[in-house]
Structure 1
Amino acid sequence: MTPKIEKIVIKYITQSATVSDLDTLSEWIKTPANKIAFKDYIQSHYAIIHSMNNPDTKKALEQLLLRIKKEKTLVYRLRRQPIYKYAAAAVVVGIMVSAYLFKNNLSDIPVESTPVIVDTNTIVPGTDKATLTLGDGTVVALEKGSTYQTQNANSNGEEIIYKAGNKKTNEIVYNYLTIPRGGEFHMVMADGTEVWLNSESQLKYPVSFIDGVTREVQLVYGEAYFDVSPSTNHKGAKFKVLNQSQEIEVLGTAFNIKAYKDETNIYTTLVEGKVVVNSGTSKQYLVPNQQSNFDLKNNSITVYKVDVNTEISWKDGIFSFKGKPLKDIMKVISRWYDVDIIFENKDLESIKFKGYLDKNQSIDQILLIMKSNTINNYEIIDKTIILK
C-alpha cells in the first residue's frame, strides 16, 4: 500500500474523504492484490483480539468494501449538489469501526454505566489560532475571521505568509509565533519554508534571512512539521532548527519535531531528505522513515524506523495512535481540546490502543469510542475529564 493510498484509507475511516479520494480508493480496491492489502491493513490497525479467520471479522471487512462501493455511487448521484451535501457520504462503517477503532490489546469487557457529563459546551475541538509577537514586543492575535498585514507579512487568520525581502539586509529581526492549547497554525517563512505548528507550541524565526548565511529558527517548545526550502535556492545556505539541547541541520527536506515542555524526550522524524541531529555530544544521521529519540535525562540519542504517516498525521487533521498508552494519548487530547485529564483509575494509564480519530470530532464522540472498549466510565466537569 503506497503512502497516498494509506492516507486515503485513513481519511475514509475518519470521515474526511473527498469525492476524488473515493474514486481513487474504489478503483484501487478492484485489484485482487490491493483488496488483500486493504484487509491486511485494517487487521493490523484496527483488529481486536479476534483473528482474521473469525467469521464476524471477515463479514465486517466485506461490508466495508461493499459500503465503499455504495458510497461512491451515492457520491456520483450528488455530484451536482454543493460539496457539503455529499461530503457526508464518506461515512465510516459504523459497526465495524466501533469494533476496531481504539481497541486495546487486552480483552477486558467494560462495565456498562452512564457517563456523567455536567457541561461540554466549553469543550470544543481546536482551531486555527496563534499569537504573533513582533520584534518590538507588540503582540497580535491571529485567528479565524481576522486579518493582519504588514510590509513583510500577511495573515488571513488561518495562516501567516512572509514575503521574501526585495533588498539585502545584514540585520535579523525575530518574531515569535505562539500556538495555545486548542490551536494550530500554518506559516510560510520568507525563504519559502513551510511550517505547521501543533497545539501548545512556540517558534522563534527571522522575518527575513541574509543571503548565503545559514538560516536558523528555534522551536522553543511544542511540535512542528517543516517542509524546508532547499539550500540550492538560497546560495547554498543551510537550514537549522534549534531546540533545547539539540540542533537539527538540513539541506532541503521534510521532517517533524516533537519537543513539549512536559516531556523529557525530543522526537525528530524524517519524512524525506536528510538531517543531522546533534546533541553536542552525539551526532545521528537520519534517513527517511527514521526517528531519533533524544533522552534529555541521560543526554542520549537512539534511532529507529517508524511509520511516518502515523507520526505526522496530526497536521492533516487526524489523530493516529499505534500501540500508544492511554496516558500519552490523553496528553494529545488535552492539548487539542484544552482540557485537563485526571486518571481516577491509574490502571488505565498503561493500556495501549491503536487507531485513528478525526480531530474535528466532539470530545464526547472520542470518549464514547474509548468507553465502548476499555474505559469503564468517565465524568466531565467544566473542562476536566475524569477517567474511571
Structure 2
Amino acid sequence: MKDNIYHLIEKYLAGTITPAEEAQLMAWYQDHNQTDVEWPSENADEEEQVRLRMLLRMNQQINTPVTRSGTTRRLWYLSAAASVLLIVGFATYFYYTQIHRSTRPAVIARDVKDIGPGGNKAILTLANGDKVVLEEAKNGLISQQGNTSVNKTGSGSLLYNKEAGSTAASIVYNTLSTPYGGQYQMTLQDGTKVWLNAGSSLRFPASFPGNERNVILTGEAYFEVAKDNARPFFVTVNAGSGAPMTVRVLGTHFNINAYPDEQHNIVTLLEGAVKVGCGQANALLAPGKEAILNRTSGKINIKDGDTEGAVAWKNGYFLFENEKIESIMRQISRWYDVEVSYQGDVSGKAIGGSLSRSKNVSEVLNMLELTGTVHFKINGRRITVMP
C-alpha cells in the first residue's frame, strides 16, 4: 500500500496522474483526516518535502480558473485535501524548520523582533468610571457594584455574584473591554458565561433585577446563556447606519461576530434557539444555522452555519475555509495587535486551513506563505501583504 501511495504522490507532483489515480490519492487523504498521516517514506526530511510540494500543487489547482460544469465537486475535493495538508503538515513543518532553519530561508527577516500572540487582557470599567486593568489585578474581590461582588478567579476570569440576602438595588452598569491582542472570559450575575474576542466590549448591568436581561456588544463574543424562562436575555449590537441588531434568547449557546469593520454581523447558533431582529427584518434560528445581517441593507440571510469555525477563536485556533486574505488579515490584526497594509493586488485570493492562535505571528505568516497565495513583510508592528 505504501509503495502504491508513494507512486501516486510522485505522479501527482509530476502532473501525470490519471483521474482515477487522483481520486484514489484524495480518498487516502480523506481516510486519514482524523489521525496522523503515516507518510510512505522513512526519511523525515523527504516526508516534509512531499507535504509541502503537494500542498503547493493542490493550492495551484484550487486557484486555477475553471468552468462551472462538472467542476464544483472536484474543487471542493481538492480544497478538502489541501486543508488536511494544512492541518496535519504544519506541525511537522515547524519541527523541520526549527532544526534546519539555516538551510531553509525564513519568510520573516530574523533581525525583526517577532510578535507574540494575544492573551488574557481586558479592562473593566466600573459604574463610577474607574478602570481596572485585569491582567494586573490580583485574584479575589475587585469591587462591590451595588449588591453584587466582582471577583477575579484563579483561572483569570471575572465572576459576578449577588450577595446573599441583599435587597434590590439600583441598576449600575459595567463595561468589559478587550484590546487588540486580548481576550477574556466572564460570568454574569445570572450565571451566563461570556467569552470576549480581541477588540471587543460588553456593557452589562452588575445584576439583573428586572424582567429582562440586557447587554450591549461591540465586536465578537460567545455566549452560554443561563436559562430563565421568566427573563429573556437580549444582546444589542450596532448594525451600521441602520437600526441596531437584537438577539433574543432564553437559554442557549451562540456566537456573535459584529466587528464594525466587517460588512456583515453574523450570529451562529450552536444550541437552543434565538431570534435575530433588525428593524423590520426578523429571523428565528435553529441549531447549526447562522443569521447574516448585511450592515448596509439591513437584510438578514439564513444559511447553514460553520459552528466549528465560528467558535475556533474561543478554542485557540484560526479556521479558514476558502477565506479571503483580507478577512484573514483582519483576524490576525486583532489578535496580534498589528497594522496591516497591502502592496499589490491580493483581492480574490483565498486560503483554507487551521492555524494555532498560540504561535508567534511570523510562524503564522510562514504557514500562510506555504500556500503560494501571498507573501508578507514585517516592519515593527506593520505587516505588508504582497502577491
TM-score, normalised with respect to structure 1:
0.72
Matches within 5 A, 1:171-190: 171-190=170-189
Partner of 2:221: 224
371, 378, 381: which one pairs with 1:380?
A: 378
In the TM superposition, what is the alpha-carbon distance from 1:116 to its structure 2 partner?
5.0
For 1:353-364, list aligned pairs within 5 A.
353-364=351-362
Matches within 5 A, 1:99-248: 99-100=54-55, 103=59, 105-106=62-63, 115=107, 117=109, 119-121=111-113, 123-143=115-135, 146-147=138-139, 149=141, 150-151=143-144, 152-156=149-153, 158-166=156-164, 167-210=166-209, 213-219=211-217, 221-232=218-229, 236-244=230-238, 245-248=244-247
1:33 matched residue in structure 2: none
Asked whether the equivalents of residues 175 and 207 of structure 1 are also in contact (C-alpha less than 8 Å), the reply is yes
Matches within 5 A, 1:261-300: 261-300=260-299
Residues 241, 247 of structure 1: 8 Å contact kept: yes
Equivalent position SS for 2:347: helix
8 Å contact kept, 2:108–2:362: no
Paired letter, 2:63: L
CA distance in 1, matches of 2:280, 2:169: 32
State whether residues 324 and 349 of structure 2, in contact with CA within 8 Å, keep that contact through their aligned partners in structure 1.
yes
Task: Give, in whole Å, the separation in 1 of the partners of 2:362 and 2:302.
Answer: 37
Q: Residue 128 of structure 2 aligns to which amino acid in structure 1? A: D
Describe the shift of the 1:315–1:65 C-alpha distance in structure 2 as closer, same or farther (beyond 3 A): closer
Asked which structure has the greater CA Rg, the reply is: 2
8 Å contact from structure 1 (residues 116, 378) kept in 2: yes
Q: Is the 8 A contact 1:103 1:354 kept in 2?
A: no
Deviates more, 1:361-370 or 1:129-138: 361-370
Cα–Cα, structure 1 residues 269 and 52, in superposed 2: closer, same or farther, change >3 Å? farther
Amino acid at match of 1:106: N
Opposite residue 228 of structure 1, the aligned amino acid is V
Partners of 2:121 and 2:179 within 8 A in 1: yes
What secondary structure does 1:314 align onto? coil
- 2:342 match: 343
**AA paired with 2:354?**
Y
**Is the 8 Å Cα contact of residues 118 and 382 (structure 1) preserved in structure 2?**
no
1:168, CA displacement in angstroms?
Answer: 3.3
Aligned counterparts of 1:365 and 1:181: Cα–Cα separation in 2: 19
Partner amino acid, structure 2, of 1:349:
S
Q: 1:97 to 1:158 in 2, by over 3 A?
A: farther
The answer to which of 142-151 and 245-254 deviates more is: 142-151
**Preserved CA contact (<8 Å) 1:114 1:377:** no
Report the Cα distance in structure 2 between the residues aligned to 1:62 and 1:353, rounded to whole angstroms. 22
User: Are residues 305 and 64 of structure 1, via their aligned partners in 2, closer, same or farther at CA, if it must alter by over 3 Å?
Assistant: closer
Give the Å deviation of 1:350: 1.9
Query: 2:251: which partner in 1?
Result: 252
Deviates more, 1:173-182 or 1:260-269: 260-269
Deviations 1:229-280 (A, max 9, x none): 0014xxx111110112111110100011111121232111111111111112
SS at match of 2:314: helix
Identity %: 29
TM normalised by structure 2 equals 0.72
Maintained 8 Å contact 2:349/2:373:
no
AA partner of residue 274 (structure 1): A
**Aligned residue pairs: how many?**
309
Q: Which has the higher contact order (CA 8 A, sep 6+)?
A: 1
60 and 270 in structure 1: CA distance in 2 versus 1, 3 angstrom threshold: closer
1:58 and 1:331 map into 2 onto residues whose CA distance is 34
Q: How many Å apart are 1:345 and its aligned residue?
A: 2.3
- Give the unaligned 5+ runs of structure 2: 1-14, 40-46, 66-103, 239-243
Deviation at 1:370, TM superposition (A): 1.6
Q: Which runs of 5+ in 1 are unaligned?
A: 1-48, 71-92
Deviation at 1:374, TM superposition (A): 1.9
Specify whether residues 66 and 242 from structure 1 end up closer, same or farther in structure 2 by C-alpha distance, changes over 3 A only: closer
